[in-house]
Structures are given as C-alpha cells and as structure tokens.
Structure 1
Amino acid sequence: MGLTRAFLLALLAAGLIAPASAQTIPAIPVAGARQDEDARLLALLNSYARAQEALDPLGAVARGDNGNPQALQRLFSDELAAAQRTELRRQLAGLARINRARLSPERQLSYDAFQQQTREALGWLTPDIIALTAVRPFNHFGGLHEEFPALLGPEGALPWRDERDYRRNLALLRSLPLVLDRAIARFRQGMGSGVLETRLTTTNMIAQLDELLARSPGDSVFAAPVADLPVAIPPARQALIRADWQEAVAQDVVPAYRRLRRFLAEEYLPAARAEPGLAAMKGGSGLYRRLILRHTTLPLEPEAIHALGLSEVARIHDEMEQVKAQLGFKGTLPAFFNHIRTDPRFHPKTAEELSQGYAAVAKAVDAQLPRLFARQPAGKMTIAAYPASRGKFEAGGSYSLGSADGQRPGVFYFNTYDLESRFLSGVTTLYLHEGIPGHHFQSSLAQQDQSLPDFQRFGDNAAYVEGWALYAETLGYEMGLYKDPLQHWGTLDDEMLRAMRLVVDTGLHAKGWSRSQAVAYMLANSGMGRSDAEAEVDRYIANPGQALSYKIGALTIQRLRREAETKLGPRFDLKAFHEQVLGSGVLPLSVLETKVRRWIASSA
C-alpha cells in the first residue's frame, strides 16, 4: 500500500523527508543534524533527571538509592515546592531551545511526552492547588507513615550490603521524625483553612499507626533491618550498629509516630469532614476535574465518565449472563452473585491453596509468552502474600517493582486477609494484571531500557501503566486461559470492577454518593465480597480519579489495536503491536496514539 497524504505530511513535519524546495540538501548532513539534536535532547533530559532527584527524595529511595537525609527532611515544606517550581520552569525553557523538527521520531515522542508531563507537574504547584493538596500530606491509601517502613523492610528497595549502607540508612531513619512533625503542621494548616481529609481516611490512618505501634520498639517493623546483619560485618561492628539503630527507633521514631497518632485521634478526627467525596470539600469540585485530567491524560467531564461507566456495566452484564448459563446456574444474575459469594467451593480454604493457584497460572502464562511478545524482561518476578499488617487495608493484589539491573525481582503480592471473601475465579485475571504480562512486563521492560530518558523508564502515568495492565487481562482469551467458565467469569467480574469504578468514583466525588451507597452499588452489580468492595470504595475516597485510569487507558489501547488490525489486515503482527505499546516506556495516551498510528502507516 502506498503512503497516504497524511503520512507524507507527518514525515515532512518530523524531518524524515525534505520539502520539494530542499531536495538538494544531502541526506547525510540531515541525519547528522538529527543525531546531534537527539543527543542534545537526551543530554538535557538526563541532566533534568539528575536535578529532579534532589527534589524527589522519597522517589530516589524507592528506586534503590540510599537517599539524602537532608533532602528527605524537606518533604512537606514550602521550600521544596518553590524549588520544584523553579526547576520545572527551567526545564520547559531548556526544552524550548531544542528544535523538535530535527529530532528522530523516537526522540520526538520523548520531547512531546516530557513537555506534556512537565506542564502538568507545574500546574500542580500553583498556589490554588497547593492550598488544596499540601495540607493533606497523606492518607491511609498512600503516605510516608506506611511507605517508609515498607522501604526499610526485606522487600524494600534500600541496599543492605555493608556497614556503610546501614549507616546511611540510619541517617534516613533519623530524619523521619522531623518529616512526620512537618506533616502534622500541614494537617493543622488544613484545619485552619477548612480543607480536610475525611473521617474515614483519618480513622484508617489511626488504625495503621496502631498496627505499627502495637509491638515494642525492639520488635517493631523499624527494627527489622538489624535483626539479621551481613556476616561480612565484624561482630563488634554489628553490636554498634544494632545499638545505634535501636536507640533511634526507641527514642526518635516511635515517639514521633505516637505524636502523629495522638494528633490525628485527638485533634484532627473531630474536625475531619464526614462526607467522602471531594465535592463536599472546599475547592473540591475543581480539584476533581484536574485529577481526572491528571490520571486519564484526557480532559473528560465527570458526567460523561459516569455515563460511560453505566454503559459498560450494562454491556458486561450481558456477557455475564452467558457465562452464568455455562456454569449451569438457572437463577438471576444477582442471585448468582450471591451464590458465588457464599458458596465455599468458590473460595480458597487456605492461603496455600491460593498460592498454588497463582503458581499454576504463572506456569501456563510462561508457556504462551513467546507467541505474544518479542521481548521479555531480564528480571524475574516472585509471588508472595501481603504481610499481615497490610492485608486489611489492601485490595486483592498489587505489584512491587524490582531493580533496574534485574538483580532484585519484582513481586506480585496477593491478599490472604479474610479468605472467605477471596475468589478462586479471579486468580487468572489478577495475575495477568498485576504480574505477567501486566505490570511486571511494562515496568521492567521500561526501566531496563537504558536508551530511554529516565522519565520514560520510571514514569507512573496511570492511564498508560494501568491501561496496559487491564489490557493484559484480555490476553487471557488468546492464551486459552478463559476456556474454563469459572476463570472466564473471573475476568468478567474484574472487568466489571473497572467499569463500576467509572460509575462509583464519579458518584462519590461529583454526585454526592455516600460510602454505603457506593459499596451497595458494587455488591449489586458484581460478585465481589464485601471486604473487597469496602476496600475498593475506601481507595476511591482516598485517591480520587486514579481508578478511572484503568478503563480509559485500556479502551485506548484496545481501540488502537482494532485500528491496526483493520488497516493492516494480514500484515498485522501482534508481537510488533505489543512492542509499539511497550517499547518507548511510559507515554501519555495522546503521544502513544501518535506512535502507534505512525507504525500503522509505515507498515501498510
């Protein structure tokens, strides 16, 4: 098939062909100029990545660096926000000095993605937005009070190789009390301005703190790093490390957590808002629209998303009716929801049974991967249950990223809390989403590709990241994993979850829904257990808009695949399509569309 006029214009704009008046320009200098401009852009982006590390101290620790104690102490400060604003403006000014037309197609994607991301980040540092966000520094779904202990744990990213690592990590630990006290000051600012968290999230934070404080300092999660020191450290030095570490925990860290707990319970909770939705918070309606744009990368209205969700719920109900019949159930769909929710044969009896189920799915998936993907990550992935302290506050599963060098594996976590509410039918689809080829493939392939700028390697654009993971669930059909009607039911049930999120998230934050109304809607339209439904709704309350990203992102990838299949016909290559989606790291959806359509045009 010949080149279309639109594609020729795209090539001209990208600098891949010369205009008619410039055909005498030799090809080699043009390629050389493009190479030079690519190098300038990459050098610029790499320098920006280094500059931003000091402005994202917790992110640096999460990536496996020891981090900078002085930088960590700047968290929740006006000084850090001002420095971030200055840096982002500098980055946009530097980007404007790059000639985009002289970049290669791959680096044009980097240019466009970085520009969009940086403008978005700068928008979140305006005074009106900071007044709504900085005074709510964390909640039960995400926050330093829970994340930092996890980073210190055996599955965390911090290195523990020698005495130097322990000393550097101890310096980080000693910085924590100052940061927690600053968070209390931020919460107090919100009390003064009338911008507060909900009673629900506050109560859950208090419960999390109670879990952390339940043990003695010497037996707490904070003391775990010195329980088993490397044998390479001499015994006398080990004793000194343990003494210094335990002193910091007992005299600094635990008292700081007790101060935070006392403040939340005695001062903040009585003032917290009763209504769960952002619409009930001062400035909340405008903030919710900005959150929709942030999480979906699209300027969508809450009403339109709500209507889309209702439509998707109805469509999936029709498919559920068919699978219900295959499972031999004669009653209504709501009756089947209750049947599968209450019949013990649909639920794991032990944590080991659940673990074995995920292991079996992993083996089946591994056998199918060469047929669907041209590349696989270098790093492996392990499967583990959540620690007991986290299970009550988590959904069915999640993924923890491994190290960029592939030495530390990624981890797929599954939930064994309240086994009676877990479903054997959801084992396949949850593994595909959180594990392989979902989050593990996407994030590992990106971070292991050192040709990409850091923001594409380590980015967390939810519409792309979660959209891919939800799309990955649908690959179970091509792998033959849903021929079992029970597993087919499970993937429909999970697809229903993502459709219901469009309804419930907008219901809570734009339509004034109560928590009980949101939970009831999810129980009425799916086979979810009550514990899962409550955990999901509490997540939407704590993290507005994020749950919308799954369905919006997946629908975009599915639409691009259908477009490619239609236009390429027998030339369509599924492995090549997946490489297009995954091969440039994390991209905004609009930039991803540009890339895939360019590939379609060049393959036609």
Structure 2
Amino acid sequence: MGLNSGWNLSRRRFVGGGAALALAPMLPAAAGAADSEDARLMALLQDIAARGDALEPLGLVDRGGVPNVEAFRRSFTSAQIDAYRGLNRWATQRMARIKRDRLTSERQISFDSMLADLRSQTDRLRPDIIALDAVRPFNHFGGFHVEFASTVSKGGELNYNTEADYRRNLDFIAAFPQVIANAIARFREGIASGVVESRMTVANMIAQIDALLAEPPGASPFTSAVRDFPASIPAERQAELAAQYNAVASDRIYPTYRKLRAFLADEYLPEAREAVGISAMKGGTTVYTLAIEQHTTLRLGAEAVHQLGLSEVARIQSEMDKVKTAIGFTGPLRAFFDYIRTSPRFHPKTRDELASGFAAVARAVDAQAPRFFNHMPRTRLEIRPYPAYREKYEAGGSYNQGSPDGRRPGVFFYNAYDLPSRFLTGITTLYLHEGAPGHHFQISLAQENESLPDFQRYGGNNAYVEGWALYAETLGFDMGLYKDPLQYWGTLDDEMLRAMRLVVDTGLHAKGWTREAAIAYMLGNSGMGQSDATAEVERYIAWPGQALGYKIGALTIQRLKRKAQAALGGRFDIRGFHDQILGSGALRLSILEAKIDRWIAAGGVAIS
C-alpha cells in the first residue's frame, strides 16, 4: 500500500517503531542528570506522538479515541506527504539535542529505536520513492476500499456508544467520496508516469468491490451501526440517525464504490502491467530493495534471502518426512502432500468444526501460559470467522488488536471459506500465531503498558511483530500441543509456509517468477491447499517484501534464545527471556540483539 495513504494494514502511526511492553514500571534513574535526560526524551517522544496523531485519520481510534475527519479527507494527497515530511524533519532535529549517554539503558533503547525509525522514514519520503509509491495508493490485499468497510461497521474500530459517537462517525463515513477521489487522482498520476499495479491485483480489487456492492445498502457494513443501537439513545433519535446513515450509504458510499469500480475496470486495468513482480514495474528494483530493509530491519540482498529460504525448505522437509512416516504413510513426501490435500480426514466438514477446534486450543494455551509468561494481557481475545464479504480474499487467519483500555477485545479471525481447502492439522499453530501467545500477547501487553512512549506501545515492524508470532508457534512443543502427529505436521506445514515465503517473494520480485510458477512451488513443497496457496502468492504480489519478516524475525529470536541458554545455563528462565523480548517494544533486530546481550552480561537479571 502507498506510504502516503494514511491507511495501513495495522493502522500503526506513521512515526513509530515498536509494539511491545516494558513489563515493569520504569525505575527512577540513579542520577539526577539521567533522570532529567530521560524526562526530556519522554517529553519529546510524547510530542512526536501527539503531532503524529494530528496527521493520522485513525491515529487515536485504536486506543478508543475518535477519527480525525480532516486528516481523513487529506488521505492520498501531496499535502499529507508534506505534513509527514515536516514532522520527520522536526523530530529528527529535536532528537539530535538529546544526550544519549545521559539516558538510562531502557531510554537508550527508545532513543535508538526512534532515531532509526526516523532515518528509515526519511528514505521512504524521498521524492523518487514517493513517485513510485504514492501513485499506488492501495491494492487488493488489506486495501483501503475493503478495510474502510470493516472499520466503520458496528464492532469495528469506531465507537458506537453514544449519540455523539454516531454523529461524529457519520461525518467520517461521509468523507469517503473525497478520499476515493484523491486515490483515483493518484492512480491517474501512475498511469501518466508508467508506475502501475499488476492486472491481477486490479482484477481482484474489482471483484472485491463487486462483493461489497452485492449487499444492499440497508444490509451493508455502512449501516450496521443503525441496526443495533445502544438502549441509551432515545427512539426518535434512533430513527433520525438510521435515516441519515441509510441516506449516506445509498446516496454517497455506494455511488462512490461504483465510480471507483468503473475507473479501475475502464481506465486503470487496460494500463496495468501484465507481469506480477515489482521488478517489472518502472523503478521496481529500487522499491524492492527498500522493502526488504523495511520489513526485515536488516540490509539483506534478495539472493541471500532466496538461498536462506531454499536451505530452510530443505531442513523442514526432512522433518516432514519423519512425521509422514509416523502418521503411517509410506509413499514419497510429494504424494503425501496430495494425500493431505484430498483426504477428507484432514479437512473440516463444517464451520462449527473449525470454531470448536480453535476454542479447544485456546483453553489449552490459557492453562499453559503461566509457565512461560510472567504477564498476561488484560484485554480479552475473541475468536471469529471472517465476514462473508471478506473471506474469499483473506489468508487463513489474522488478528485485529483490541483497545488499550480493554473495552474492545482483540479478535482472532479464521477463514472458513472453501472448507475442503482448510486443514484441521493447522488449527493449533494458527491460533498460537494469530491469537495467544502470538499477536494478542505482544500487541495487547504493549498497549496496556503506560510506562512506554507511545511509539513503542503502538508501533511495529514486521520482522519483530511477525517474527514473534512465528516464534510463538514453537512454544507449542513445550506446551505439549504437538504430541498429536497431525498437529505436529500442521506446525511443520506452517513453518514451511514461512520458509517458502523467502523463496517465493524473492522469486516473484527479483527473479521474474510468474504467479503460476510461485503457486506451483508452494503446492510442490507443502501440503497447503490450492485456495491458500493462491491467496498467499497474490498477497506477496500485492505487498513486496512483507512476507520476509516472519522467518527472518523468528530465526533471530530463536538464535537469541539459544545464545542466552548457552551463556546462562541454569540461570536461564524462559519467563525472564520473554520479558526481555517483549519488554521494550517491537525493536529492530539489531537493537533487540544488543538488548539481549546486555541482559546476558548482567547474568539474566533485568536491567534498568
């Protein structure tokens, strides 16, 4: 998605980096000078966050606040980019005035993280990068046109608790036509400059819009809030608000979607590129190089990542071969992949079977978690299927964060579309990743801790956030959740997915692979179904580099764990290790490693 969109999948603020928790209150500095410098830094970081909120359409919504309608109207505009650049310059100048050597160690981590984030953002805001990025404001994967419907629906990110909420949200929804007009103008700039999306992603966007338009306005996400009013709003006000919401949906939202669809089908699709890899796009090699660094927080070459992926695929396949034999299959591994895909025993027969499976794993994790974590989130975790209008184009599962005050729960969404392509074997590992102790623990614990600066509470980078979630899958071994060979197979299959991502993402975007070749590679090296493989590949096409963060991040955390175990011996405590990993936000991997090295040097004792 476009950097300047003001809208991204996780809706993290623009200026930010981490997303985790300082698991104990900040201790006062030992010296007055350090305390003073810590206070100066924290005040500056708070100021940066407040200025960032003023630029973000949903900067406060995830924390229970209200949407910024004026900022929303500026989405996809040059004015928005100019505002981001101004904030970036101002924040960089102010950070240069902080004396790092006078900060406590925890605040040095904050300082290093913010400075690294600002430098990365400076690169992404370069005019040459904006010219390649801004003209592609959204696509089919987590695109604004779909996410907007989820956000404004009842049960989404917006509050619908009072009459004031309803009226404020109505103004937000009514601004949608202006935002789409801004986006269409950006798409047209890309047509003029030759920087366009692939035909595949455009066709998928058109299909998504068709799915939204297939629902009548009165039954759509845009009017869901007026079909379920809180009792505190008087009946006459309910009738008034219902009429207003229905009018906006019928007279503004739906005509805007039809306008967007017509533009994409009649004007943009004929100009879209045939090749799916970003390297086939004008300036695409530059975009991909920057994407690798952005999503892994490391400077890695595409070829090195590709080779790492091939190595991991080979290693995991050797483990798969052992499990295949334990399950009782005597043929070759590729034949077992086909057996897994086609045998009914491995697939849910009903949606309820999926739901009950995830619920059972959730109960088991809840019982085991105190052995591995000193702290558990206060925020509840709910398990829900994707809504019908989204499920066809979604991955197997995802996580939507709750609010910091715990009033809105975190949600683990699972995909029940095309049940024959879903796997019972993957239930355990998917829940550990998307739910607990994966995304739900990391994001919720971060938001709930008020001692961290906001950018560490609410920010994130893929290598850490997704690396942690993939690492969380491995905890299922010590929790005893993979004793069943079928669930063990499931976690190997999911790990294989992350390894294949290294191969396929670089194959698509650096080696000229076709969509069909990428799908064939995934089907030939795993037991995943056709629908999952297709959705995964189309996701990588839409979001170059993002899929690399999972395996790079997880391998780093696993290596740091082995390093700590070897150095500390009997003093190693898994709960203390997790405190350290989760304790300072979603750090860049080099900063995380430096922190763990200090913890090891201190004998496995927390340092302030």
- 1:385 corresponds in structure 2 to 385
Tell me which amino acid in the other structure corresponds to 1:547.
A
- 1:147 corresponds in structure 2 to 147
Deviates more, 1:149-158 or 1:409-418: 149-158
- 2:245 corresponds in structure 1 to 245
Tell me which amino acid in the other structure corresponds to 2:47.
S
1:173 aligns with 2:173: yes
- Are the structure 2 counterparts of residues 238 and 155 from structure 1 closer, same or farther at C-alpha, using a change threshold of 3 Å? closer
Tell me which amino acid in the other structure corresponds to 2:211.
E
- 1:564 corresponds in structure 2 to 564
- 1:89 corresponds in structure 2 to 89
Structure 2 CA distance for aligned equivalents of residues 155 and 539 of structure 1:
25
- In the alignment, is the contact (CA less than 8 A) between 2:379 and 2:444 conserved in 1? yes
- Are the structure 2 counterparts of residues 462 and 31 from structure 1 closer, same or farther at C-alpha, using a change threshold of 3 Å? same
Normalised to the residue count of structure 2, the TM-score between the two structures is 0.94
- 1:19 corresponds in structure 2 to none
Structure 2 CA distance for aligned equivalents of residues 29 and 464 of structure 1:
28
Residue 215 of structure 1: how far off its partner (Å): 2.2
Normalised to the residue count of structure 1, the TM-score between the two structures is 0.94
1:199 aligns with 2:199: yes
Residue 62 of structure 1: how far off its partner (Å): 4.3
Secondary structure of 1:516's aligned partner: helix
Tell me which amino acid in the other structure corresponds to 2:54.
A
- 2:497 corresponds in structure 1 to 497
Structure 1 CA distance for aligned equivalents of residues 217 and 486 of structure 2:
46
Q: Which runs of 5+ in 1 are unaligned?
A: 1-27
- 2:578 corresponds in structure 1 to 578
Secondary structure of 2:384's aligned partner: strand
Structure 1 CA distance for aligned equivalents of residues 382 and 408 of structure 2:
10
- 2:19 corresponds in structure 1 to none
Structure 2 CA distance for aligned equivalents of residues 217 and 477 of structure 1:
48
Structure 2 CA distance for aligned equivalents of residues 120 and 142 of structure 1:
23
- 2:536 corresponds in structure 1 to 536
* Bigger radius of gyration: 1
Residue 235 of structure 1: how far off its partner (Å): 1.2
Identity of matched residues, %: 60
1:553 aligns with 2:553: yes
- 2:376 corresponds in structure 1 to 376
1:263 aligns with 2:270: no
- In the alignment, is the contact (CA less than 8 A) between 1:285 and 1:510 conserved in 2? yes
- 2:424 corresponds in structure 1 to 424
Matches within 5 A, 1:333-348: 333-348=333-348
Tell me which amino acid in the other structure corresponds to 1:515.
R
Q: Deviations over 1:514-556 (max 9, x none)?
A: 0000000000000000000000000000000000000000011
Q: Following TM superposition, where does structure 1 have runs of at least 4 consecutive aligned residues deviating by more than 6 angstroms? A: none
- 1:527 corresponds in structure 2 to 527
- 2:46 corresponds in structure 1 to 46
Structure 2 CA distance for aligned equivalents of residues 588 and 123 of structure 1:
16
Secondary structure of 1:374's aligned partner: coil
- Are the structure 2 counterparts of residues 587 and 322 from structure 1 closer, same or farther at C-alpha, using a change threshold of 3 Å? same
Secondary structure of 1:57's aligned partner: coil
- In the alignment, is the contact (CA less than 8 A) between 1:309 and 1:501 conserved in 2? yes
Matches within 5 A, 1:69-468: 69-468=69-468
Q: Deviations over 1:365-415 (max 9, x none)?
A: 111111111110111101111111111001111111011011211011111
- In the alignment, is the contact (CA less than 8 A) between 2:63 and 2:405 conserved in 1? no
Secondary structure of 2:74's aligned partner: coil
- Are the structure 2 counterparts of residues 510 and 84 from structure 1 closer, same or farther at C-alpha, using a change threshold of 3 Å? same
Structure 1 CA distance for aligned equivalents of residues 359 and 175 of structure 2:
40
Secondary structure of 1:54's aligned partner: helix
Residue 214 of structure 1: how far off its partner (Å): 1.0
Structure 2 CA distance for aligned equivalents of residues 209 and 496 of structure 1:
33
Q: Deviations over 1:470-501 (max 9, x none)?
A: 00000011011111111000000000000000
Structure 2 CA distance for aligned equivalents of residues 516 and 383 of structure 1:
33
Deviates more, 1:220-229 or 1:593-602: 220-229
Residue 434 of structure 1: how far off its partner (Å): 0.4
Structure 1 CA distance for aligned equivalents of residues 425 and 380 of structure 2:
25
Structure 1 CA distance for aligned equivalents of residues 268 and 446 of structure 2:
41
Structure 1 CA distance for aligned equivalents of residues 104 and 151 of structure 2:
39
Tell me which amino acid in the other structure corresponds to 1:273.
R
Residue 218 of structure 1: how far off its partner (Å): 2.3
Residue 586 of structure 1: how far off its partner (Å): 1.6
Structure 1 CA distance for aligned equivalents of residues 87 and 310 of structure 2:
42
- Are the structure 2 counterparts of residues 30 and 490 from structure 1 closer, same or farther at C-alpha, using a change threshold of 3 Å? closer
- 1:509 corresponds in structure 2 to 509
Q: Deviations over 1:573-603 (max 9, x none)?
A: 1100000001112211111111111101001
Residue 252 of structure 1: how far off its partner (Å): 1.4
Tell me which amino acid in the other structure corresponds to 1:508.
L
Q: Deviations over 1:76-118 (max 9, x none)?
A: 1101101110111100111111110000000000000000011
Residue 239 of structure 1: how far off its partner (Å): 1.4
- In the alignment, is the contact (CA less than 8 A) between 2:64 and 2:405 conserved in 1? no
Tell me which amino acid in the other structure corresponds to 1:254.
Y
Secondary structure of 2:266's aligned partner: helix
- In the alignment, is the contact (CA less than 8 A) between 1:445 and 1:585 conserved in 2? no
- In the alignment, is the contact (CA less than 8 A) between 1:62 and 1:151 conserved in 2? no
Q: Which runs of 5+ in 2 are unaligned?
A: 1-27
